Amino acid sequence: MSEPIDQNLKSELQKQGIWVTSMQELYNWGRKNSIWPLQFGLACCAIEMIATAASRYDLARFGGEVFRPSPRQADLMIVAGTVTKKMAPQIVRLYNQMPDPKYVISMGACAISGGPFKQGYNVLKGIDRYIPVDVYIPGCPPRPEALLHAFMELQRKIDEQKLTGANKAPHLQADRPSEFPVPAFGAHDLEPPANPDLFHPPVSERLSG
């Protein structure tokens, strides 16, 4: 997609003290600098998340310090910690209750894959089985710098979103779902164990010999 403004002309104008922007840049600039996370923590990663929001690491520098206690006001869900199967339906329901546009950071090994508890009977093996994840942070737990890095990656991602055209942002596409089915408690596992429309793990081919 071609840029609506010629970059050379833009920088030329900027040297003369004229700042030209587009609606899309202004919109993304505003949104990426005031991402309000949903206030909840699941396990030890939440301690790192709290440290990130506190004064030493200061998430406020990136506009993400306004942790909201209600999903109605939140833009970002930081899945910070082990998602147990007991908790997974609530997480998905909270995600469903967030207004669009909404983003998810999967923080730590547990939220990505179940981490050290992957073999456990009661731990969900990755939150991306039920909701779409934008940024994954490895670590057990990830340090606050890693969460800041994930936050900046998310900001970069928001900055690249298009308002118009075929590949415009998912929340602007009418056919893209905003809510995902909430899993139910089954006899031995959550039903279904993963959302087949969403969960496409990479198939790794084992090297023979």
* Residue 152, number of CB atoms within 10 A of its CB: 13
Could you tell me the smallest distance in angstroms from the CB atom of residue 31 to other proteins?
A: 11
Given a contact cutoff of 8 angstroms between Cβ atoms, the answer to whether 187 and 85 are in contact is no
Judged by CB under 8 A, which stretch of 9-17, 44-52, 84-92, 104-112 contacts other proteins? 84-92
User: Rounded CA gap, 161 and 28, in Å?
Assistant: 7
| Cβ proximity to other proteins, 21 vs 173, nearer residue | 173
Residue 68 binding other proteins, by CB under 8 A: no
In the list 44, 146, 172, 194, the residue contacting other proteins (rule: CB under 8 A) is 172
Can you tell me whether residue 203 is helix, strand or coil? coil
User: Rounded CA gap, 134 and 153, in Å?
Assistant: 9
Residue 179 binding other proteins, by CB under 8 A: yes
- The β-bridge partners of 37 are 76
Residue 13 binding other proteins, by CB under 8 A: no
Could you tell me the smallest distance in angstroms from the CB atom of residue 96 to other proteins?
A: 4
Residue 70 binding other proteins, by CB under 8 A: yes
Judged by CB under 8 A, which stretch of 8-16, 124-132, 147-155, 172-180 contacts other proteins? 172-180
Amino acid at 45: C
At 77, give phi and psi (nearest 5°): -110, 115
| Cβ proximity to other proteins, 33 vs 178, nearer residue | 178
| Cβ proximity to other proteins, 88 vs 150, nearer residue | 88
Residue 171 binding other proteins, by CB under 8 A: yes
Residue among 141, 171, 136, 162 nearest 151 (CA): 136
Can you tell me whether residue 22 is helix, strand or coil? coil
Question: Tokens 């993400």 sit at which residue?
Answer: 64
Q: Among residue numbers 93 through 132, which ones bind other proteins (CB under 8 A)?
A: 93-94, 96-101
- What DSSP designation does 196 have? T
The count of residues interacting with other proteins (CB under 8 A) is: 19
Residue 189 binding other proteins, by CB under 8 A: no
User: Rounded CA gap, 149 and 102, in Å?
Assistant: 18
Binding footprint of other proteins on the chain (CB under 8 A):
70-72, 89-91, 93-94, 96-101, 171-172, 178-179, 182
